[in-house]
Amino acid sequence: MSTGTGPVERTVMNRKRKTLRLKREETHGGDMGLLCEWNQCGTLWQNSIRLGQHVEEHFNSFIENNLGSKYKCQWEDCDFAVDDETDIGRLKRHVLYHTFHSKLKWRGQRTIEYYNQQPCIQESALRNWIPEDIRYQCGYGDCTTEIDHPELFFSHVADHCNEYLPARGEPKRAEMSRPTRFECRWLDCGFSAPRVNWLKEHMRKHSQVKECACPTCGSVFANRERLLDHLRRQTPLECQRFQCSHCQRMYPTESLLKAHMGKHIHAYRCPFCPVTTNLPSTLHRHITSRHQEDRPYQCPVCEYAGKFEADIKRHILTHNAGGLYRCEVEGCEFAARTPSTVKRHARKRHNGEAVGDRYRCHLCESETGFGWGAALGRHLRQAHGLRPPSGHTRFSYIASPDGLIRLQTTTYESKEMKTLRLVAVPG
Protein backbone atom coordinates (compact mmCIF):
# COMPACT_ATOMS: atom_id res chain seq x y z
CA MET A 1 0.00 0.00 0.00
CA SER A 2 1.39 3.42 -1.00
CA THR A 3 2.31 5.87 1.75
CA GLY A 4 1.63 8.87 -0.48
CA THR A 5 5.15 10.28 -0.17
CA GLY A 6 7.23 11.13 -3.20
CA PRO A 7 11.02 10.96 -3.65
CA VAL A 8 11.54 14.53 -2.38
CA GLU A 9 9.55 13.86 0.83
CA ARG A 10 11.41 10.61 1.42
CA THR A 11 14.73 12.41 0.98
CA VAL A 12 13.73 15.06 3.52
CA MET A 13 12.56 12.40 6.01
CA ASN A 14 15.80 10.43 5.63
CA ARG A 15 17.80 13.63 6.13
CA LYS A 16 15.90 14.42 9.33
CA ARG A 17 16.54 10.88 10.63
CA LYS A 18 20.26 11.30 9.93
CA THR A 19 20.29 14.66 11.73
CA LEU A 20 18.60 13.19 14.82
CA ARG A 21 21.01 10.25 14.79
CA LEU A 22 23.96 12.65 14.53
CA LYS A 23 22.67 14.73 17.47
CA ARG A 24 22.32 11.59 19.61
CA GLU A 25 25.88 10.58 18.77
CA GLU A 26 27.11 14.05 19.76
CA THR A 27 25.25 13.86 23.08
CA HIS A 28 26.51 10.40 24.03
CA GLY A 29 29.67 10.17 21.98
CA GLY A 30 32.18 11.38 24.59
CA ASP A 31 34.63 14.26 24.37
CA MET A 32 34.53 16.71 21.48
CA GLY A 33 38.22 17.55 21.51
CA LEU A 34 37.94 21.33 21.06
CA LEU A 35 41.26 23.04 20.42
CA CYS A 36 42.34 26.12 22.36
CA GLU A 37 43.84 28.47 19.77
CA TRP A 38 44.76 31.25 22.22
CA ASN A 39 48.37 32.21 21.56
CA GLN A 40 49.27 28.70 20.29
CA CYS A 41 48.08 27.00 23.50
CA GLY A 42 46.98 23.84 21.67
CA THR A 43 45.21 22.04 24.54
CA LEU A 44 42.05 20.00 23.87
CA TRP A 45 38.79 20.27 25.85
CA GLN A 46 35.69 18.09 25.92
CA ASN A 47 33.10 20.87 25.56
CA SER A 48 32.84 24.60 24.88
CA ILE A 49 31.96 25.48 28.50
CA ARG A 50 35.18 23.98 29.87
CA LEU A 51 37.11 25.48 26.98
CA GLY A 52 35.55 28.84 27.87
CA GLN A 53 36.63 28.51 31.52
CA HIS A 54 40.16 27.67 30.37
CA VAL A 55 40.30 30.61 27.93
CA GLU A 56 39.02 32.97 30.64
CA GLU A 57 42.19 32.16 32.61
CA HIS A 58 44.27 33.06 29.54
CA PHE A 59 42.25 36.24 29.11
CA ASN A 60 42.57 37.44 32.72
CA SER A 61 46.33 36.83 32.69
CA PHE A 62 46.63 38.68 29.36
CA ILE A 63 44.75 41.73 30.69
CA GLU A 64 46.86 41.89 33.86
CA ASN A 65 50.09 41.83 31.84
CA ASN A 66 49.00 44.40 29.23
CA LEU A 67 47.42 47.19 31.27
CA GLY A 68 47.49 50.55 29.52
CA SER A 69 48.15 49.18 26.00
CA LYS A 70 45.94 48.24 23.07
CA TYR A 71 44.21 44.93 23.66
CA LYS A 72 44.29 42.56 20.69
CA CYS A 73 42.58 39.18 20.57
CA GLN A 74 45.22 36.43 20.83
CA TRP A 75 43.13 33.79 19.03
CA GLU A 76 44.84 32.43 15.94
CA ASP A 77 44.09 34.34 12.69
CA CYS A 78 41.97 36.96 14.50
CA ASP A 79 42.74 40.69 14.27
CA PHE A 80 40.02 42.03 16.58
CA ALA A 81 41.26 44.65 19.05
CA VAL A 82 39.97 47.31 21.45
CA ASP A 83 41.77 50.50 22.43
CA ASP A 84 41.29 50.97 26.15
CA GLU A 85 40.11 49.40 29.39
CA THR A 86 36.51 50.56 28.90
CA ASP A 87 36.14 48.02 26.08
CA ILE A 88 37.62 45.01 27.92
CA GLY A 89 34.11 43.58 28.42
CA ARG A 90 33.52 43.70 24.65
CA LEU A 91 36.82 41.92 24.05
CA LYS A 92 35.91 39.25 26.61
CA ARG A 93 32.57 38.53 24.89
CA HIS A 94 34.43 38.32 21.60
CA VAL A 95 36.98 35.84 22.99
CA LEU A 96 34.29 33.65 24.55
CA TYR A 97 32.48 33.55 21.22
CA HIS A 98 35.65 31.98 19.77
CA THR A 99 35.18 29.05 22.18
CA PHE A 100 31.56 28.60 21.07
CA HIS A 101 32.64 29.01 17.44
CA SER A 102 35.11 26.14 17.93
CA LYS A 103 32.21 23.90 18.95
CA LEU A 104 30.20 25.01 15.90
CA LYS A 105 33.13 24.19 13.59
CA TRP A 106 33.50 20.78 15.25
CA ARG A 107 29.82 20.11 14.60
CA GLY A 108 30.26 21.28 11.03
CA GLN A 109 33.16 18.89 10.44
CA ARG A 110 31.14 16.01 11.89
CA THR A 111 28.21 16.90 9.63
CA ILE A 112 30.39 17.02 6.52
CA GLU A 113 31.87 13.60 7.30
CA TYR A 114 28.50 12.08 8.23
CA TYR A 115 26.81 13.22 5.00
CA ASN A 116 29.92 12.48 2.91
CA GLN A 117 30.06 16.01 1.48
CA GLN A 118 32.99 17.62 -0.32
CA PRO A 119 34.78 20.20 1.88
CA CYS A 120 34.38 23.95 1.42
CA ILE A 121 36.67 25.54 -1.17
CA GLN A 122 36.67 29.08 0.24
CA GLU A 123 39.59 30.86 1.89
CA SER A 124 40.62 29.06 5.10
CA ALA A 125 42.50 32.08 6.47
CA LEU A 126 39.11 33.60 7.37
CA ARG A 127 37.92 30.62 9.45
CA ASN A 128 38.26 32.49 12.78
CA TRP A 129 36.67 35.78 11.70
CA ILE A 130 33.61 36.29 13.86
CA PRO A 131 31.19 39.23 14.43
CA GLU A 132 33.03 42.35 15.63
CA ASP A 133 30.55 43.48 18.27
CA ILE A 134 28.67 40.85 20.27
CA ARG A 135 26.29 41.54 23.14
CA TYR A 136 23.96 39.02 24.77
CA GLN A 137 21.08 40.70 26.58
CA CYS A 138 17.76 38.98 27.20
CA GLY A 139 14.63 40.85 26.11
CA TYR A 140 11.98 38.38 27.30
CA GLY A 141 9.32 40.17 29.35
CA ASP A 142 10.99 42.18 32.11
CA CYS A 143 14.25 40.20 31.93
CA THR A 144 17.33 42.25 30.98
CA THR A 145 19.98 39.69 31.98
CA GLU A 146 23.34 40.02 30.20
CA ILE A 147 25.57 36.94 29.84
CA ASP A 148 29.07 36.87 28.34
CA HIS A 149 29.22 33.23 27.23
CA PRO A 150 26.97 32.67 24.17
CA GLU A 151 26.02 29.08 25.01
CA LEU A 152 24.90 30.03 28.52
CA PHE A 153 22.88 32.90 27.08
CA PHE A 154 21.10 30.65 24.57
CA SER A 155 20.24 28.23 27.38
CA HIS A 156 18.93 31.12 29.50
CA VAL A 157 16.60 32.31 26.70
CA ALA A 158 15.28 28.79 26.07
CA ASP A 159 14.53 28.36 29.80
CA HIS A 160 11.98 31.19 29.63
CA CYS A 161 9.69 28.88 27.65
CA ASN A 162 9.64 26.42 30.56
CA GLU A 163 7.35 28.76 32.50
CA TYR A 164 4.51 27.26 30.44
CA LEU A 165 5.39 23.68 31.41
CA PRO A 166 3.76 22.08 34.46
CA ALA A 167 5.92 21.93 37.56
CA ARG A 168 7.15 18.55 38.79
CA GLY A 169 4.38 16.82 40.70
CA GLU A 170 1.69 19.16 39.39
CA PRO A 171 -1.67 17.31 38.99
CA LYS A 172 -2.95 16.63 35.48
CA ARG A 173 -6.01 18.85 35.95
CA ALA A 174 -3.62 21.82 36.31
CA GLU A 175 -2.04 20.86 33.00
CA MET A 176 -5.49 20.88 31.38
CA SER A 177 -5.97 24.50 32.50
CA ARG A 178 -2.90 25.72 30.65
CA PRO A 179 -3.47 28.15 27.72
CA THR A 180 -4.21 26.74 24.28
CA ARG A 181 -1.67 29.13 22.73
CA PHE A 182 1.68 30.13 24.17
CA GLU A 183 2.73 33.74 23.61
CA CYS A 184 6.25 35.01 23.06
CA ARG A 185 6.89 37.84 25.51
CA TRP A 186 10.00 39.15 23.78
CA LEU A 187 9.99 42.92 23.28
CA ASP A 188 7.72 44.01 20.37
CA CYS A 189 6.96 40.40 19.33
CA GLY A 190 3.38 39.21 18.99
CA PHE A 191 4.10 35.60 18.03
CA SER A 192 2.12 32.76 19.62
CA ALA A 193 2.20 29.00 19.09
CA PRO A 194 -0.07 26.06 19.98
CA ARG A 195 2.88 24.09 21.41
CA VAL A 196 5.70 25.00 23.76
CA ASN A 197 8.25 23.29 21.51
CA TRP A 198 7.18 25.53 18.64
CA LEU A 199 7.64 28.56 20.89
CA LYS A 200 11.15 27.34 21.78
CA GLU A 201 11.97 27.03 18.09
CA HIS A 202 10.68 30.57 17.55
CA MET A 203 12.82 31.89 20.41
CA ARG A 204 15.93 30.85 18.49
CA LYS A 205 15.24 33.81 16.18
CA HIS A 206 15.49 36.22 19.10
CA SER A 207 18.60 34.67 20.63
CA GLN A 208 20.23 34.26 17.20
CA VAL A 209 21.53 30.85 18.23
CA LYS A 210 23.63 28.99 15.67
CA GLU A 211 23.94 25.22 15.38
CA CYS A 212 27.05 24.66 13.28
CA ALA A 213 29.77 26.38 11.26
CA CYS A 214 31.89 25.60 8.23
CA PRO A 215 35.27 24.31 9.49
CA THR A 216 37.04 25.81 6.47
CA CYS A 217 35.72 29.36 6.06
CA GLY A 218 34.10 29.79 9.50
CA SER A 219 30.62 30.80 8.25
CA VAL A 220 27.96 30.05 10.89
CA PHE A 221 24.53 28.53 10.21
CA ALA A 222 21.26 28.19 12.12
CA ASN A 223 21.01 24.49 11.24
CA ARG A 224 22.91 21.71 9.52
CA GLU A 225 20.82 21.90 6.35
CA ARG A 226 22.07 25.45 5.77
CA LEU A 227 25.65 24.20 6.07
CA LEU A 228 24.96 21.46 3.52
CA ASP A 229 23.40 24.05 1.19
CA HIS A 230 26.53 26.20 1.65
CA LEU A 231 28.64 23.28 0.37
CA ARG A 232 26.25 22.32 -2.43
CA ARG A 233 26.29 25.87 -3.78
CA GLN A 234 30.01 25.41 -4.46
CA THR A 235 29.27 22.63 -6.94
CA PRO A 236 31.03 23.46 -10.26
CA LEU A 237 28.70 25.23 -12.69
CA GLU A 238 28.97 22.46 -15.28
CA CYS A 239 27.54 20.01 -12.71
CA GLN A 240 24.51 22.14 -11.80
CA ARG A 241 21.39 20.82 -13.58
CA PHE A 242 18.47 22.90 -12.25
CA GLN A 243 17.83 26.27 -13.93
CA CYS A 244 15.51 29.11 -12.91
CA SER A 245 13.14 29.92 -15.78
CA HIS A 246 13.05 33.59 -14.80
CA CYS A 247 16.66 34.67 -14.19
CA GLN A 248 18.51 31.68 -15.73
CA ARG A 249 20.54 30.99 -12.60
CA MET A 250 21.68 27.40 -12.15
CA TYR A 251 21.43 25.32 -8.96
CA PRO A 252 22.84 21.92 -7.98
CA THR A 253 19.65 20.64 -6.29
CA GLU A 254 15.92 20.97 -6.82
CA SER A 255 15.37 22.17 -3.26
CA LEU A 256 17.79 25.09 -3.75
CA LEU A 257 16.02 25.99 -7.00
CA LYS A 258 12.59 25.97 -5.32
CA ALA A 259 13.87 28.16 -2.49
CA HIS A 260 15.31 30.58 -5.03
CA MET A 261 12.18 30.78 -7.20
CA GLY A 262 10.14 31.87 -4.18
CA LYS A 263 12.16 35.10 -4.21
CA HIS A 264 10.64 36.04 -7.56
CA ILE A 265 7.04 35.93 -6.31
CA HIS A 266 5.96 39.00 -4.33
CA ALA A 267 3.07 38.14 -2.03
CA TYR A 268 3.26 40.99 0.52
CA ARG A 269 2.09 44.53 -0.27
CA CYS A 270 2.97 47.68 1.67
CA PRO A 271 -0.19 49.43 3.00
CA PHE A 272 1.39 52.87 2.44
CA CYS A 273 2.88 52.61 -1.07
CA PRO A 274 2.90 50.26 -4.12
CA VAL A 275 5.92 48.26 -2.95
CA THR A 276 5.53 44.48 -2.85
CA THR A 277 8.01 41.99 -1.37
CA ASN A 278 8.52 38.26 -1.25
CA LEU A 279 9.02 38.05 2.54
CA PRO A 280 7.15 39.56 5.50
CA SER A 281 10.46 40.45 7.15
CA THR A 282 11.50 42.43 4.06
CA LEU A 283 8.20 44.31 4.06
CA HIS A 284 8.48 45.04 7.77
CA ARG A 285 11.97 46.47 7.24
CA HIS A 286 10.70 48.55 4.31
CA ILE A 287 7.86 50.02 6.42
CA THR A 288 10.25 50.84 9.26
CA SER A 289 12.88 52.46 7.04
CA ARG A 290 10.60 54.31 4.57
CA HIS A 291 7.39 55.12 6.44
CA GLN A 292 8.27 55.46 10.13
CA GLU A 293 10.19 58.29 11.80
CA ASP A 294 11.05 56.62 15.12
CA ARG A 295 14.76 56.07 15.75
CA PRO A 296 14.87 54.03 18.97
CA TYR A 297 18.57 53.09 18.83
CA GLN A 298 20.73 55.89 20.27
CA CYS A 299 24.51 56.17 19.92
CA PRO A 300 26.11 56.35 23.42
CA VAL A 301 28.87 58.63 22.10
CA CYS A 302 27.12 61.21 19.92
CA GLU A 303 23.60 62.40 19.00
CA TYR A 304 23.12 59.90 16.16
CA ALA A 305 20.09 57.61 16.40
CA GLY A 306 19.19 54.72 14.10
CA LYS A 307 16.05 52.87 13.10
CA PHE A 308 17.71 49.45 13.38
CA GLU A 309 20.20 47.92 15.79
CA ALA A 310 22.48 47.22 12.82
CA ASP A 311 22.58 50.96 12.08
CA ILE A 312 24.08 51.65 15.51
CA LYS A 313 26.57 48.79 15.22
CA ARG A 314 27.88 50.22 11.93
CA HIS A 315 27.85 53.78 13.27
CA ILE A 316 29.77 52.90 16.46
CA LEU A 317 32.67 51.80 14.29
CA THR A 318 33.07 55.40 13.07
CA HIS A 319 34.18 56.28 16.61
CA ASN A 320 36.90 53.65 16.47
CA ALA A 321 40.14 55.47 17.22
CA GLY A 322 42.25 52.43 16.44
CA GLY A 323 42.59 53.17 12.76
CA LEU A 324 41.74 51.03 9.76
CA TYR A 325 41.87 47.33 8.94
CA ARG A 326 44.00 46.69 5.87
CA CYS A 327 43.97 44.01 3.20
CA GLU A 328 46.78 41.51 3.79
CA VAL A 329 47.30 40.68 0.10
CA GLU A 330 50.72 41.92 -0.98
CA GLY A 331 50.51 45.03 -3.13
CA CYS A 332 46.88 45.82 -2.22
CA GLU A 333 46.33 49.12 -0.43
CA PHE A 334 42.64 48.62 0.43
CA ALA A 335 41.66 49.62 3.99
CA ALA A 336 38.35 49.79 5.86
CA ARG A 337 36.98 50.46 9.33
CA THR A 338 35.69 46.91 9.88
CA PRO A 339 37.20 43.44 9.37
CA SER A 340 34.00 42.28 7.64
CA THR A 341 34.49 44.90 4.90
CA VAL A 342 38.07 43.75 4.34
CA LYS A 343 36.85 40.14 4.26
CA ARG A 344 34.23 41.00 1.64
CA HIS A 345 36.85 42.90 -0.38
CA ALA A 346 39.24 39.93 -0.28
CA ARG A 347 36.58 37.55 -1.57
CA LYS A 348 35.53 39.83 -4.42
CA ARG A 349 38.94 41.09 -5.52
CA HIS A 350 41.38 38.32 -4.71
CA ASN A 351 39.35 35.09 -4.81
CA GLY A 352 37.86 35.30 -8.31
CA GLU A 353 34.44 36.63 -7.33
CA ALA A 354 34.62 39.99 -9.10
CA VAL A 355 31.98 40.29 -11.83
CA GLY A 356 34.07 42.27 -14.33
CA ASP A 357 31.84 44.27 -16.69
CA ARG A 358 28.89 41.85 -16.78
CA TYR A 359 26.29 44.57 -16.03
CA ARG A 360 24.87 45.81 -19.35
CA CYS A 361 22.24 48.40 -20.31
CA HIS A 362 19.22 46.85 -22.07
CA LEU A 363 18.50 50.12 -23.94
CA CYS A 364 21.95 50.89 -25.39
CA GLU A 365 23.47 49.22 -28.42
CA SER A 366 26.94 49.89 -27.03
CA GLU A 367 28.98 46.95 -25.77
CA THR A 368 30.27 49.02 -22.84
CA GLY A 369 29.72 47.20 -19.56
CA PHE A 370 29.59 48.18 -15.91
CA GLY A 371 31.41 46.55 -13.03
CA TRP A 372 28.63 46.92 -10.45
CA GLY A 373 24.89 47.39 -10.26
CA ALA A 374 25.28 50.88 -8.76
CA ALA A 375 27.22 52.05 -11.82
CA LEU A 376 24.55 50.71 -14.19
CA GLY A 377 21.89 52.36 -12.02
CA ARG A 378 23.56 55.76 -12.40
CA HIS A 379 23.71 55.23 -16.16
CA LEU A 380 19.99 54.33 -16.35
CA ARG A 381 19.08 57.48 -14.41
CA GLN A 382 21.37 59.91 -16.23
CA ALA A 383 21.33 58.59 -19.80
CA HIS A 384 17.75 57.32 -20.05
CA GLY A 385 15.88 59.15 -17.28
CA LEU A 386 14.69 55.91 -15.66
CA ARG A 387 13.64 55.72 -12.03
CA PRO A 388 13.24 52.70 -9.70
CA PRO A 389 9.63 51.53 -9.11
CA SER A 390 7.59 53.61 -6.68
CA GLY A 391 8.71 52.99 -3.11
CA HIS A 392 12.07 51.49 -4.13
CA THR A 393 15.43 53.22 -3.98
CA ARG A 394 17.37 50.87 -6.27
CA PHE A 395 16.94 48.92 -9.49
CA SER A 396 16.81 45.11 -9.55
CA TYR A 397 18.83 43.05 -12.02
CA ILE A 398 18.71 39.52 -13.40
CA ALA A 399 21.14 37.34 -15.33
CA SER A 400 20.31 36.93 -19.03
CA PRO A 401 20.79 33.67 -21.00
CA ASP A 402 24.04 35.10 -22.45
CA GLY A 403 25.49 35.36 -18.95
CA LEU A 404 25.25 39.16 -18.73
CA ILE A 405 23.26 40.98 -16.05
CA ARG A 406 20.54 43.42 -17.12
CA LEU A 407 17.68 45.40 -15.59
CA GLN A 408 14.79 43.31 -14.27
CA THR A 409 11.70 44.69 -16.02
CA THR A 410 9.16 42.13 -14.76
CA THR A 411 7.99 41.29 -11.23
CA TYR A 412 5.76 38.33 -10.43
CA GLU A 413 3.10 39.00 -7.82
CA SER A 414 0.85 36.55 -6.03
CA LYS A 415 -2.87 36.71 -6.86
CA GLU A 416 -3.60 36.97 -3.15
CA MET A 417 -1.63 39.70 -1.46
CA LYS A 418 -0.98 39.27 2.27
CA THR A 419 -0.86 42.05 4.84
CA LEU A 420 1.16 42.39 8.02
CA ARG A 421 -0.05 43.32 11.47
CA LEU A 422 1.71 46.63 12.04
CA VAL A 423 3.61 46.95 15.30
CA ALA A 424 3.75 50.77 15.09
CA VAL A 425 1.93 53.48 13.18
CA PRO A 426 4.02 55.86 11.04
CA GLY A 427 4.56 59.21 12.73
Could you write out the DSSP letters of every residue in 262-306? GGGEEEEE-SSSS-EESSHHHHHHHHHHHH-----EE-SSSS-EE
Mean pLDDT in the chain?
79
Q: Is the Cβ–Cβ distance between 155 and 138 less than 8 Å?
A: no
For strands 250-251 and 242-243, give the pairing.
antiparallel
Element spanning 55, H or E: helix 48-65
How confident is residue 216, by pLDDT bands cut at 50, 70 and 90? very high
Which of the listed ranges 361-370, 379-388, 402-411 does the model predict with the highest average pLDDT?
379-388
Lowest mean pLDDT among 174-183, 263-272, 281-290, 404-413: 174-183
Q: What was the pLDDT predicted at 8?
A: 45
How confident is residue 25, by pLDDT bands cut at 50, 70 and 90? low
What are φ and ψ of residue 77, in 5° steps? 60, 30
Is the pLDDT at 422 greater than 60, yes or no? no
**Model-level pTM greater than 0.75?**
no
What are φ and ψ of residue 251, in 5° steps? -140, 150
Mean pLDDT computed over 330-350: 75
**Amino acid identity, position 200:** K
How confident is residue 424, by pLDDT bands cut at 50, 70 and 90? very low
Mean pLDDT computed over 121-146: 84
- Cα separation, 234 vs 58, in Å, equals 38
Q: What was the pLDDT predicted at 14?
A: 60
Contacts for 222-231: CB closer than 8 Å, 24+ residues apart: 224/19, 224/22, 224/107, 224/111, 225/15, 225/19, 227/108, 227/111, 227/112, 228/111, 228/115, 228/117, 229/256, 230/120, 231/112, 231/117, 231/118, 231/119, 231/120
Q: What was the pLDDT predicted at 213?
A: 94
More confident call, 12 vs 337:
337
- Cα separation, 326 vs 335, in Å, equals 4
Q: What was the pLDDT predicted at 263?
A: 78
Q: What was the pLDDT predicted at 289?
A: 87
